[in-house]
Structure 1
Amino acid sequence: MRALVVDHASPGHLTLAEDVPEPRPAAHETLVRVEAVSLNSGEVHAATRPETPDGTVLGWDAAGVVVRAAADGSGPAEGERVVTVGYTGWAELRAVPAALLGTAPQDADPGALGTVPVAGLSALHVLRRMGPVLGRRVMVTGASGGVGRYAVQLAARAGAHVVAVSRDPERADALRALGAHEVHPEPADVRQPVWAVLDNVGGPHLVDAFAALEAGGTLVSVGRSSRADAVLSPDVLLGDGGRHDRSIRTFFLFGDPGTDFSADLTWLAHEVAAGRLDPGISWRGPWTRHAEAVEALLGRRLHGKAVLDVG
């Protein structure tokens, strides 16, 4: 089968290989023919690292159609449209256990579905960690990115007062259309305290966002797109003046190996298919043009998701 594999001699450190071995599904795995994938910065950066061997197949997000149901009866039936999360998504076929795939309407756009897994699941699970957000101020940094856009929409639907942070002033109207009540270029520009923060940026953004927390508030560190160090001075950690009991929490979507994502993937896929969640596709093309998508992502020229159509 064909797959995008790591090739450090090629543009974007990826090449489209023609002779990659097909997966051999275990009894509990469904075989999916992939129609579209989306790119995440973590896997793209992984492809550029010298320690990632040539020939490695990466990719978490993929959407497609079941071509062989799991032998043990778990998972969807042959012919169903699905969205999947895993570690070998940039290939024509992938074998997926039932816990890592969700079903979608038959007429859904596979490209839109392909944006759901890492970005949608991360936003959903982080917001759940925050607890009830109804009527509370919730900050989302990196709000124009894949996780950020989903977080803005989901937080607004949960009843939060959404404070979006994006350095691009041209994104303000789009973020308000997604449900943001305020849009600021920097966390330091936010004048009223917030109950919780979903931070996609790290570095100085994390420091300033933490300073904006009210007593008892929580910052969840999801991404580090700035690639900068977060240096907290002793004063930032003081608990006086209504700053007590604040916390910083780390997040890793696959931190609990036994997590069943199927229900959440199915719900998110149906919300996207129905138009109630905007997938935020900002670049789309055939996977033969993968180098363009990778260049745009690494150059931070994307506001949203990059989608590759497979085939």
Structure 2
Amino acid sequence: MRALVVDHGKAGPVRFADVDEPVPSISEALVEIRHIGLNFGELNYVHQWPAGAVHGHDASGVVVRAAADGSGPPVGTRVALGMSSHAWAERVAAGPASLGTVPEGVDLADAAALGIAGVTAFRVLRKRSLLARNVLITGASGGVGHFAVQLAALAGARVTALVGSPERAAGLRELGADRVLTDLAEAGDRFDLVLDTVGGPLLARAWNLLAEGGTIHLVGYSSGEDTTFPSGSLFGFGEPRSITTYGDMTPTSGDLTDLLGLMAAGRLTAPVGLRGRWQDLDDAVRALFARKVHGKIVLDVL
């Protein structure tokens, strides 16, 4: 079968290859993949995976063989794969812990956009009550950012979305952002929670805008820059402030089910900024790295 595998050469980060068919364990279903969702991290840091390995974590498709032990969804079930392994292939063996059943009315392509981005935003924002709290989402035009803006607004937060340019602000107010900024100097308020996908100098600036008792959750470092905190900036009186790293890869089935339920109810939309065929992967990767895509990239497996 065809799959996208890790390529450490100049032609990378991934390439098409013929690979062996997956052999499901007794508790795994065989899923025919219809769509894959790309993420910046898994492509930008591809050196962390072995060359030749089937890559990717997010996808959606249909169960063509149920798990032999009777666990998981039956044949014909439409499913989303989130934070799974080796997901960018024509067929994938997956256990029930990484599968979410896609309800009627939810497009399979939209379900492929959930995965890492949707689950990350969901888990971070459920860490504390957000009702009437000030929440800052950095990198708000990306996949995590689009989901985070919607979910924070649903939870009753006052949402400030930070983007890199005015062009990347499109649609964020419609998703629930109360304010969309291109410079933190315009913020004015202090924030109870910051979901940061950027890192670098921006992180230090966000720290200075954190309210007493507030928390910054680090879910990415797309800037690729180091963060330097000025002397004394990490000391303060009042309720403790904190910075928390976040990279939870525990089973995603329950979170996917909750997110898909919100999508089915019309309360959450998939931030698909580019839709294409997986044969056009190279163009999609270039657009992703050039920051030309608002939201997620979903490719159809044809």
TM category, shorter: over 0.9
Is 1:290 aligned to 2:289, yes or no?
A: no
- 1:50-89 paired onto structure 2 within 5 Å: 52-85=49-82, 86-89=84-87
Match of 2:145?
148
- SS at 2:45 equivalent: helix
Match of 1:21?
20
Cα deviation for residue 184 of structure 1 reads 1.0
Match of 1:194, as an amino acid?
F
* Distance across 2 between alignment mates of 1:108 and 1:76: 17
* Distance across 1 between alignment mates of 2:118 and 2:284: 20
Cα deviation for residue 52 of structure 1 reads 4.5
Match of 2:31?
32
Of all paired residues, the percent bearing the same amino acid is 48
TM-score, with length taken from structure 2: 0.95
Question: Which range moves more in the overlay, 7-16 or 301-310?
Answer: 7-16
TM-score, with length taken from structure 1: 0.92
- Contact 2:102–2:108 (CA under 8 A) maintained in structure 1: no
Instruction: Tell me: CA distance 1:52–1:83, structure 2 relative to 1, closer, same or farther (3 Å).
Output: closer
- 1:130-145 paired onto structure 2 within 5 Å: 131-145=128-142
- 1:182-221 paired onto structure 2 within 5 Å: 182-221=179-218
Question: Aligned-residue CA RMSD in angstroms?
Answer: 1.6
Unaligned runs of 5+ in 1: none
Instruction: Tell me: CA distance 1:12–1:291, structure 2 relative to 1, closer, same or farther (3 Å).
Output: farther
Counterpart among 117, 122, 125 of residue 127 in structure 1: 125
* Distance across 2 between alignment mates of 1:106 and 1:178: 23
More helix by share: 1
* Distance across 1 between alignment mates of 2:228 and 2:186: 19
* Distance across 2 between alignment mates of 1:173 and 1:301: 13
Cα deviation for residue 263 of structure 1 reads 2.0
- Contact 1:138–1:195 (CA under 8 A) maintained in structure 2: yes
* Distance across 1 between alignment mates of 2:89 and 2:301: 8
Match of 1:4?
4
* Distance across 2 between alignment mates of 1:146 and 1:246: 27
Match of 2:73, as an amino acid?
P
Is 1:280 aligned to 2:271, yes or no?
A: yes
- SS at 1:303 equivalent: coil
Match of 1:42?
41
* Distance across 1 between alignment mates of 2:24 and 2:104: 23
Report Cα offsets for 1:64-103 as digits up to 9, x if no partner.
0001111111111110000012121110111111111110
- Contact 1:112–1:272 (CA under 8 A) maintained in structure 2: no
Match of 2:230, as an amino acid?
S
Cα deviation for residue 7 of structure 1 reads 3.1
- Contact 2:104–2:264 (CA under 8 A) maintained in structure 1: no
Match of 2:227, as an amino acid?
A
